[in-house]
Structure 1
Amino acid sequence: MAAPRKYPDELRARAVRLYRESDPKPTIRKLVQQLGVHHEELRIRQAEADAGERADRPPTDMAAENRQLRKKVAELERVNAVLRSARAYFASELDQTRR
């Protein structure tokens, strides 16, 4: 279960908007000091990626889909390992009855 959020989503969205609309851009550290929030809480770079302004990280929805697909791949790999073991076992059993 995820920890409860310390700051409301509205504050985070407003802080990201303030950063993006500022000219010249303040440093993130200065902005978070002014707002009194932790710098990791704002997720400015992620908001820029979600808006299509950054290519160095995937958007939030794509990252969530990737996590889901990785889980599915891991599950299918476990199933395949079990099936390979069962195939090897039954093949050895079949070999013994043919001799």
Structure 2
Amino acid sequence: MGMKNYPPEFKRDAVALYESRPGATIAGIAADLGISAETLRNWIRAARAERGEPGR
């Protein structure tokens, strides 16, 4: 399966949705959005790195 290109706004919104829901799981949010958990996990890591947050 080929890689999909998602608009930057979608990526930002997906990360914001995950971060705004305490107790939410990456897998749950990803399933709601129709993307893989690994894709969302990568976007979260990238967003945290952009903000200079330490990795978890």
Which TM class, normalised by the smaller chain length?
A: 0.5 to 0.7
Which has the larger share of helix?
Answer: 1
Unaligned residue ranges in structure 2 (runs of 5+): none
The alignment's TM-score, normalised by the length of structure 1, stands at 0.43
The alignment's TM-score, normalised by the length of structure 2, stands at 0.67
Return the structure number with greater relative CO, CA threshold 8 A, min gap 6: 2
Query: After TM superposition, where is structure 1 displaced by more than 3 Å over at least 4 residues in a row?
Result: none
Match of 1:28 among 26, 29, 52: 26
Aligned-pair Cα RMSD in Å: 2.1
Do the aligned residues in 2 keep the contact of 1:32 with 1:39 (CA within 8 Å)? Answer: yes
Task: Compare CA radii of gyration and give the structure with the larger one.
Answer: 1
Identity %, equivalent residues: 38
Unaligned residue ranges in structure 1 (runs of 5+): 57-99
